[in-house]
C-alpha cells in the first residue's frame, strides 16, 4: 500500500499516519468491525510476546490517539485469543500458525495475511558440553505441554537427526506452559529445556548458569531449506471487506514497526516495558534479536507456510484441524 523510499522518514511518520487513518471518528464503545457491533472500531488481538514486541510502535502510537478507530488487545495465551475470535470480537489476530490453521479448518472465517514472527525456539541449559542435537541422547529435556508447537517442532528435528524422541532421550512435560517452564529453569528445577523468546532471556537474567546451547530455528532452516513461519497474522474476512483500507494500513504499519524495532532496539525496549510486554529493558533488548521479528505478507511465502504445516499434519493432523488449509486460507 505504501511505497517506502526512505524507511527512517516513514518510521517517524507512523504516529501521524495512524492518527490520520484511525483517529478521526469518535467511538463510545470498544466494539469490532466483524458485525457484532457496527461502530467502525477494529480490534487487533496479539499475544504478549514476540507478536506484541514487533508491533510495539503501532501499539504506542494508537495509545496516544484519542478515540482511535483501532484498539490493541494483548492476551497471555493463544486460547484467550481464540475465545475472542469465537465471540466475534477480533478483526485481526496474531497467534501461532498451527492454531491459525486449526481455526480456519474448523470454519472460522479468518484469512492469513502475514507472518510477523519467524522462529524463536532454542535449547537452553547448564550443560555447555551440548553443542548439537546428537549430544541430547540420554539426557532429560524439559518441554512445555506435549503436542504444542515447541514439542512437535523439537521432536521433528530429533527425528531428522535419527534420534528417537521416545527412546533416545527423555522428554519431561511436567511444566505445561511457557511461563511454568521458564520459572522452573530460572530456579534450577529444569536444568535443560526447550524455550522460546522472550522467556529465554528472562531465564538467563535470573539464572546466570543457564545459557544458549542450540538454535532450533537454525536447525529447522537447515532441514527444510526455509525459515520457520511460526506466527500468523489473521484478518477476519468480513472485516476486511468492510474496512479494507484500514486493515491494509494496519498491516503496513506493523511491517514498518517491526523494522523499526530491529533497527532501534534500545528505544523499542523502552516501549515494551511501557506497554507491559516485558518487565525490564535489559530483558527486552536481549530478546529482540532472538525473536525472529520479520513481517512478510503471506501471499509471498505460501510454500514455506505449507511446508511448515505439513510437518504438523504428518505428526498429528488434529493439531492443525485435521487437514492442510486450502488456497482460500491466504489473504
pLDDT tens for 293-324 read 999 999 999 999 999 999 999 999 999 999 99
H helices of the chain, in order, are 7-22, 50-54, 56-63, 78-86, 97-105, 149-160, 178-186, 199-206, 216-224, 237-242, 244-263, 265-274, 281-289, 302-315
| Cell output for 223 | 532441514
Q: Span 69-92, mean pLDDT?
A: 95
Pair 120, 196: CB distance under 8 Å: yes
Distance between CA atoms of 252 and 297, rounded to whole angstroms? Answer: 10
pLDDT at 18: 53
Residue 152 has pLDDT above 80, yes or no: yes
Q: What does pLDDT average to over the chain? A: 90
Domains for the chain: give ranges and CATH numbers.
7-119+228-329 (3.40.190.10), 121-224 (3.40.190.10)
pLDDT at 31: 39
Output the pTM of the full model. 0.87
Coil, helix or strand for 206? helix
Residue 233 has pLDDT above 90, yes or no: yes
Pair 193, 82: CB distance under 8 Å: no
Cis peptide before 198 (omega within 30 of 0): yes
Distance between CA atoms of 159 and 146, rounded to whole angstroms? Answer: 16
Side-chain-facing half-sphere of 57: CA atoms under 13 Å: 29
pLDDT at 30: 36
In this structure, the strands spanning 211-215 and 121-125 are antiparallel
Amino acid at each position: 500500500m505504501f511505497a517506502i523510499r526512505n524507511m527512517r522518514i516513514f518510521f517517524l511518520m507512523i504516529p501521524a499516519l495512524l492518527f490520520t487513518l484511525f483517529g478521526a471518528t469518535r467511538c463510545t464503545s470498544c466494539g469490532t468491525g466483524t458485525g457484532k457491533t457496527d461502530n467502525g472500531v477494529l480490534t487487533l488481538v496479539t499475544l504478549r510476546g514476540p507478536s506484541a514486541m514487533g508491533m510495539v510502535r503501532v501499539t504506542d502510537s494508537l495509545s496516544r490517539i484519542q478515540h482511535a478507530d483501532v484498539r490493541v488487545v494483548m492476551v497471555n495465551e493463544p486460547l484467550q485469543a481464540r475465545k475472542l475470535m469465537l465471540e466475534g470480537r477480533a478483526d485481526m489476530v496474531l497467534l501461532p500458525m498451527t492454531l491459525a490453521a486449526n481455526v480456519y479448518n474448523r470454519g472460522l472465517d479468518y484469512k492469513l495475511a502475514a507472518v510477523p514472527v519467524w522462529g524463536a525456539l532454542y535449547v537452553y541449559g547448564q550443560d555447555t558440553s551440548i553443542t548439537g542435537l546428537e549430544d541430547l541422547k540420554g539426557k532429560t529435556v524439559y518441554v512445555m505441554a506435549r503436542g504444542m508447537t515447541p514439542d512437535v517442532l523439537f521432536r521433528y528435528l530429533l527425528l531428522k537427526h535419527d534420534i528417537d524422541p521416545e527412546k533416545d532421550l527423555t522428554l519431561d512435560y511436567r511444566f505445561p506452559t511457557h511461563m511454568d517452564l521458564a520459572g522452573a529453569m530460572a530456579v534450577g528445577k529444569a536444568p535443560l529445556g526447550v524455550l522460546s523468546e522472550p522467556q529465554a532471556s528472562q531465564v538467563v537474567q535470573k539464572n546466570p548458569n543457564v545459557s544458549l546451547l542450540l538454535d532450533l530455528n537454525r536447525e529447522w532452516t537447515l532441514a527444510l531449506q526455509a525459515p520457520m513461519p511460526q506466527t500468523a497474522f489473521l484478518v477476519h474476512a468480513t472485516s476486511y471487506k468492510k474496512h479494507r483500507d484500514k486493515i491494509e494500513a494496519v498491516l503496513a504499519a506493523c511491517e514498518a514497526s517491526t523494522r523499526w524495532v530491529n533497527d532501534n532496539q534500545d528505544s523499542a525496549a523502552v516501549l515494551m516495558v511501557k506497554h507491559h510486554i516485558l518487565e525490564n529493558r535489559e530483558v527486552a533488548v536481549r530478546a529482540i534479536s532472538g525473536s525472529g521479528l520479520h513481517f512478510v505478507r503471506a501471499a509471498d511465502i505460501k510454500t514455506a507456510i505449507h511446508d511448515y504445516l505439513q510437518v504438523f499434519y504428518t505428526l498429528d493432523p488434529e493439531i492443525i484441524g485435521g487437514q492442510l488449509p486450502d488456497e482460500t486460507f491466504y489473504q
